[in-house]
Structure 1
Amino acid sequence: MIWILPAAVGALLLLVRRAPRAVALTTAAATLALAVWAAFARPAVRFPFVFTSGFAVDGLSAVMAVTVAAVTLAVLVFAAGELREARFYGLMLVFAGAMLATVTATELTMLLMGWEVMGAMSYALIGYWWRDDDRVTSAGVAFLTTRAGDLGLYAAAGAALAAGGQGLWLDGLAGLAAPWRDLVAAGVVLAALGKSAQLPFSFWLSRAMAGPSPVSALLHSATMVAAGAYLLMRLQPLLAATGWAVPVAAWAGGLTALLLGAVAVAQRDLKQLLAASTCAQIGLMMMGSVAGGAAQLVAHAAVKSLLFLGAGAWLTALGTKDLAELGGAARRYPVVGVSFTVGALALAGVPPLSLWVTKDTVLASAAGPWLHAVGLAAGLLSAAYAGKALASVWRGDGLVGGRRALGARSSDAPSPGVPPSGALSPGVLSPAVPSSGALSSGAPSPGVPAASAWSLGSLPPLAVASAVLGVVGVPVAWAWWSALVGDPGAAGVSAGELVVSGGLAVGVLAAALVRPGLLVSGRPGRTGGWLGLEALARAVVWRPLMGCARALAWFDDRVVDGAVGAVPRVGMAAARAARMPFEAGLDGVVRAVAGAALRLGRLARRPQNGQVHTYFAQAAVSLIILALAIVLVR
Structure 2
Amino acid sequence: MNVLLWPLISVPLGTGAALCLAGRSANRPAPLLAVAAALATLGLAVTAAVARPEASAPLFTGMRAGLAVDGLSAVMVITVAAVTLGVVLFSTGEFGQGENRGRFFGLMLLFAGAMFVTVTATTLPLLLMAWEAMGATSWALIGYWWQQPERVRAADVAFLTTRTADLGLYLAAGAALAGGIGSLRLDALPHAAPPWLNVVTAGAVAAALGKSAQLPFSFWLSRAMLGPSPVSALLHSATMVAAGAYLLLRLHPLLAAATWAGPLVAWTGALTALALGIVAIAQSDLKQLLAASTSAQIGFMVLAAGSGGVAGGLTQLVAHAATKSALFLAAGAWLTALGTKQLPALRGAARRYRMVGAAFAVGTLTLAGLPPLSLWAAKDEVLAAARAENSGLYAVGLAAAAVSAVYSVKALWYVTRPLPTDAEAGYDTEGHGTRRVPRPVSFPLWALTGLAAVLGVLALPGPASWVRHLVGTPAEPSPTAWELGLSAGVALAAATWAWRYSSRPAPVPGAVARWAKGWLGLERGARLLVAGPVPALARALAVFDDRVVDGAVRQSARAGLAAARFARRLDDGGIDAAVGAVASGARGLGRWARRPQTGLVHQYYAQAAVGFCALILIVLLVR
Q: Which runs of 5+ in 2 are unaligned?
A: 575-597, 605-623
Find out whether 1:243 has 2:234 as its counterpart: no
CA-CA distance at 1:560 after TM superposition = 4.2
CA-CA distance at 1:100 after TM superposition = 0.7
Q: Counterpart in 2 of 1:420?
A: none
Q: Which range moved further: 95-104 or 489-498?
A: 489-498
Q: 465, 471, 480: which one pairs with 1:485?
A: 471
Q: 458, 467, 482: which one pairs with 2:453?
A: 467
What whole-Å deviation, never above 9, does each CA across 1:564-623 have from its counterpart, x for those lacking one? 5556666777889999999999xxxxxxxxxxxxxxxxxxxxxxxxxxxxxxxxxxxxxx
Find out whether 1:532 has 2:532 as its counterpart: no
Secondary structure in 2 matching 1:279: helix
What whole-Å deviation, never above 9, does each CA across 1:158-209 have from its counterpart, x for those lacking one? 1111112330111122223322222211211111111101111111111111
Q: 433, 437, 444: which one pairs with 2:435?
A: 444
Q: Counterpart in 2 of 1:78?
A: 90
The 8 Å contact of residues 198 and 252 in structure 1, kept in 2 or not, is answered as: yes
Find out whether 1:66 has 2:107 as its counterpart: no
CA-CA distance at 1:541 after TM superposition = 1.6
Determine the C-alpha separation between the residues in 1 that align with 2:563 and 2:250: 67
Structure 2 counterparts to residues 189-204 of structure 1, below 5 A: 189-204=205-220
Q: Counterpart in 2 of 1:133?
A: 149
Determine the C-alpha separation between the residues in 1 that align with 2:403 and 2:563: 77
Find out whether 1:24 has 2:44 as its counterpart: no
Find out whether 1:188 has 2:204 as its counterpart: yes
Determine the C-alpha separation between the residues in 2 that align with 1:584 and 1:325: 94
Structure 2 counterparts to residues 191-590 of structure 1, below 5 A: 191-288=207-304, 289-366=309-386, 367-396=389-418, 405-410=425-430, 413=431, 441-444=432-435, 452-518=438-504, 520=506, 524-563=513-552
Determine the C-alpha separation between the residues in 2 that align with 1:475 and 1:324: 42
Q: Which range moved further: 71-80 or 503-512?
A: 503-512
- Give the direction of change, closer, same or farther, for the CA distance of 1:334–1:245 in structure 2 (3 Å limit): same
Determine the C-alpha separation between the residues in 2 that align with 1:498 and 1:405: 45
Q: 138, 162, 166: which one pairs with 1:146?
A: 162
The 8 Å contact of residues 112 and 153 in structure 1, kept in 2 or not, is answered as: yes
The 8 Å contact of residues 475 and 494 in structure 1, kept in 2 or not, is answered as: no
Secondary structure in 1 matching 2:43: helix
Q: Which range moved further: 165-174 or 267-276?
A: 165-174
CA-CA distance at 1:134 after TM superposition = 1.4
Determine the C-alpha separation between the residues in 1 that align with 2:80 and 2:297: 17
Q: What root-mean-square deviation, in Å, do the aligned CA atoms of Structure 1 and Structure 2 show? A: 2.6
- Give the direction of change, closer, same or farther, for the CA distance of 1:583–1:113 in structure 2 (3 Å limit): same
The 8 Å contact of residues 397 and 404 in structure 1, kept in 2 or not, is answered as: no
Determine the C-alpha separation between the residues in 1 that align with 2:382 and 2:219: 24
The 8 Å contact of residues 326 and 393 in structure 1, kept in 2 or not, is answered as: yes
CA-CA distance at 1:402 after TM superposition = 7.9
Determine the C-alpha separation between the residues in 2 that align with 1:135 and 1:179: 43
What whole-Å deviation, never above 9, does each CA across 1:433-480 have from its counterpart, x for those lacking one? xxxxxxxx13436xx9xxx42343211111100100010001232111
The 8 Å contact of residues 351 and 419 in structure 2, kept in 1 or not, is answered as: no
The 8 Å contact of residues 319 and 406 in structure 1, kept in 2 or not, is answered as: no
Determine the C-alpha separation between the residues in 2 that align with 1:184 and 1:210: 34
Q: Partner amino acid for 2:74? A: A
The 8 Å contact of residues 310 and 340 in structure 1, kept in 2 or not, is answered as: yes
Higher relative contact order (CA 8 A, sep 6+): 1
Secondary structure in 2 matching 1:46: strand
- Give the direction of change, closer, same or farther, for the CA distance of 1:266–1:41 in structure 2 (3 Å limit): same
- Give the direction of change, closer, same or farther, for the CA distance of 1:214–1:566 in structure 2 (3 Å limit): same
Q: Partner amino acid for 2:125? A: T
The 8 Å contact of residues 193 and 201 in structure 1, kept in 2 or not, is answered as: yes
Secondary structure in 1 matching 2:268: helix
Determine the C-alpha separation between the residues in 2 that align with 1:454 and 1:540: 46
Determine the C-alpha separation between the residues in 2 that align with 1:575 and 1:484: 76
Q: Which range moved further: 509-518 or 293-302?
A: 509-518
Q: Which range moved further: 501-510 or 280-289?
A: 501-510
Find out whether 1:40 has 2:50 as its counterpart: yes
Q: 10, 13, 31: which one pairs with 2:19?
A: 13
CA-CA distance at 1:332 after TM superposition = 0.7
Determine the C-alpha separation between the residues in 2 that align with 1:575 and 1:112: 52
The 8 Å contact of residues 180 and 193 in structure 2, kept in 1 or not, is answered as: no
Secondary structure in 2 matching 1:49: strand
CA-CA distance at 1:34 after TM superposition = 0.3
Secondary structure in 1 matching 2:425: coil
- Give the direction of change, closer, same or farther, for the CA distance of 1:323–1:558 in structure 2 (3 Å limit): same
CA-CA distance at 1:77 after TM superposition = 0.4
Secondary structure in 2 matching 1:52: strand
Determine the C-alpha separation between the residues in 1 that align with 2:550 and 2:491: 66
What whole-Å deviation, never above 9, does each CA across 1:415-438 have from its counterpart, x for those lacking one? xxxxxxxxxxxxxxxxxxxxxxxx
- Give the direction of change, closer, same or farther, for the CA distance of 1:576–1:519 in structure 2 (3 Å limit): same
**Normalising to structure 2: TM-score of the pair?**
0.84
Determine the C-alpha separation between the residues in 1 that align with 2:418 and 2:105: 37
Q: Equivalent pairs: percent with the same residue?
A: 57
- Give the direction of change, closer, same or farther, for the CA distance of 1:482–1:575 in structure 2 (3 Å limit): closer
Q: Counterpart in 2 of 1:109?
A: 125
Find out whether 1:88 has 2:110 as its counterpart: no
The 8 Å contact of residues 352 and 419 in structure 2, kept in 1 or not, is answered as: no
